[in-house]
Amino acid sequence: MDLDGRFDGAVHAYPLRVQYEDTDAGGIVYHAQYLAFAERGRSAWLRCLGVDQTALLAGAGKGFVVRHIEIDFMQPARLGAVLEVASRLIRLGGASLKLQQDVKNIEDGLILARLFVEIGFVDLAGASVPRACRLPAEITSQLSAVLAPMPALSSW
């Protein structure tokens, strides 16, 4: 569905417009909103790959959780700007994955923020604390199709 963006090779592009609620009184995007933009991009990325997070949670009691995020803020975004969250899978493990996400201004092409996100796959059913578990083979196959290793631009 167009609402979820599109793949261009291994990169998923999720468009969005900066809304009033995303900004401060001066029309600048709050720093925490970049995390929300990236989360929307990751959810859309999974939907475009055919991974149904709602069914996983309801049926198997399993899901994806963010384990670590590193973010670099490079440029501010402003009210009304048209942005794109570009998500690229850079590592796939048995129970985890790592993405690079760039939040870009579509109008001028500038990268506004770059995130490295480490995600674990966990069993949320029955235990008081979520426990890591292996990704199902079907999901591993879907993710492998867009794995695009690249040199790390980060210290971790």
Distance CA 83, CA 85 (A): 7
Q: Which domains does the chain have, with CATH numbers?
A: 2-144 (3.10.129.10)
pTM of full prediction above 0.85: yes
3 state DSSP class of 10: coil
Task: Name residue, tokens 């009210």.
Answer: 79
Q: Which residues pair with 105 in a beta bridge?
A: 83
Q: Which two tokens stand for residue 110?
A: 């500038």
Catalytic position from the list 24, 72, 108, 123: 24
- pLDDT surpasses 70 at 153: no
- Which pLDDT score is estimated for 149? 63
Cα 48 to Cα 9, 33, 53, 60, 154: the distances in Å are 13, 22, 12, 20, 27
pLDDT per position as a tens digit, 29-72: 999 999 999 999 999 999 999 999 999 999 989 999 999 999 99
Query: Which ranges constitute the DSSP H helices of 49-126?
Result: 53-55
In DSSP terms, which residues pair with 147 in a beta bridge? 89
113-140 residue pLDDT tens: 999 999 999 998 877 788 999 999 999 9
72 counts as catalytic: no
